[in-house]
Amino acid sequence: MMIHKRKTLPLPLLLLFGLLIQLTACAPGDVRQALDNQKPTVTLSDKKLTALDFESADLLFGFKVSNPNPVALSLAGMDYELKLAGHSFVSGNQTRKMRLAASGDSRIELPVSLAFADIYKGLKDMRGKSEVPYELTTALHINVPLLGKMRFPVTTKGVLPLPSLPKVSLKGITLDKLSLTTATLSIQLQVENPNSFNLGLDRLRYDLMVNGQRWASADRRSLGRVKKRQSNTLSLPITLHLVELGSGVYNLLNSSQPLEFSLSGNLNASSANQLIGKFDMPFSSNGRVSLSR
């Protein structure tokens, strides 16, 4: 005598059949309400700046999907559009697949990387600005029982910092003392900070060439700080040994003609922005400067 085992339906299907039975017993208005109650909700759970330097920024947006259904749902994909200063900057689609927990919450992340060069190229009026407002609209595509694939949009706004490298330049040279063998001068180096955060000047190494001759090569440390959107002028003393440099330098210091200079070096600085932290920045410039007495 053969015994046939009764086949049982998987639990998710049983739960769906139970839902269908409940719906058939409801009035049309109640059916609509019951279906609405089965829709998941999507909210922005968090957003943060994960990396920042003077070339790019990385952002991470987290979304929470709350699923009221007793069966797991599936994420079919997502689309997004990012606006900067009100202008559409980047958009796209992702065919990401993911299981969304039954009767619970799931987290979905959207990383966004932005190159500042692309921002300045696409939005000309952003150059020189320290920040730009953004608006991100992200829509999750979720397969919902009985309702099919549905789109759930979420919009968030914020401000993206646009850090800029500081600028080091030669503002002037002052002759303090002159003899037949030595000359004592002060060079004025200006450090400009265009950013919305303070900068600490940890170390400054520089070479100064004047009319083709090296006048200074120095390494200075702990030069204070430059406040946000301000500039500091550093007065640094140098001594020229005229016997080594030749009589032409002595004659030049006694004349009123402008000096041809070339300045190069490296700045080690500390940013008050924790994401940027410490950084090294090479610099160079050349031009003409008048000698002050």
Q: What is the pLDDT of residues 96-114, one digit of tens each?
A: 889 999 999 999 999 999 9
**pLDDT band per the 50, 70, 90 thresholds, residue 37:** low
Query: Given this model, what pLDDT does residue 172 score?
Result: 96
Query: Given this model, what pLDDT does residue 36 score?
Result: 58
Cβ-contact 268, 212 below 8 angstroms: no
**C-alpha to C-alpha distance for 30 and 38, rounded to whole angstroms:** 13
Size (the chain), residues: 293
**pLDDT band per the 50, 70, 90 thresholds, residue 19:** low
- Strand bridging mode 41-52 / 56-67: antiparallel
User: For residue 277, what is the DSSP state?
Assistant: -
Instruction: Express as a percent the part of the chain with pLDDT over 90.
Output: 77
Sign of CA dihedral 13, 18, 21, 26: negative
Q: Got the DSSP string for 181-192? A: SEEEEEEEEEEE
Report, as an integer, the average pLDDT of 157-175.
96
Q: Is the predicted pLDDT of residue 243 greater than 70, yes or no?
A: yes
Cβ-contact 193, 231 below 8 angstroms: yes
Cβ-contact 267, 219 below 8 angstroms: no
Query: Could you give the angle at the alpha carbon of 12 between the alpha carbons of 10 and 14, nearest 5°?
Result: 70
**C-alpha to C-alpha distance for 143 and 140, rounded to whole angstroms:** 10
**pLDDT band per the 50, 70, 90 thresholds, residue 147:** confident
Taking CA atoms, 115 is separated from 23, 92, 120, 137, 291, in Å, by: 52, 17, 9, 19, 42
**pLDDT band per the 50, 70, 90 thresholds, residue 87:** very high
Residue whose tokens read 């595509």? 141
Ranking 27-36, 144-153, 161-170, 228-237 by mean pLDDT, the lowest is: 27-36
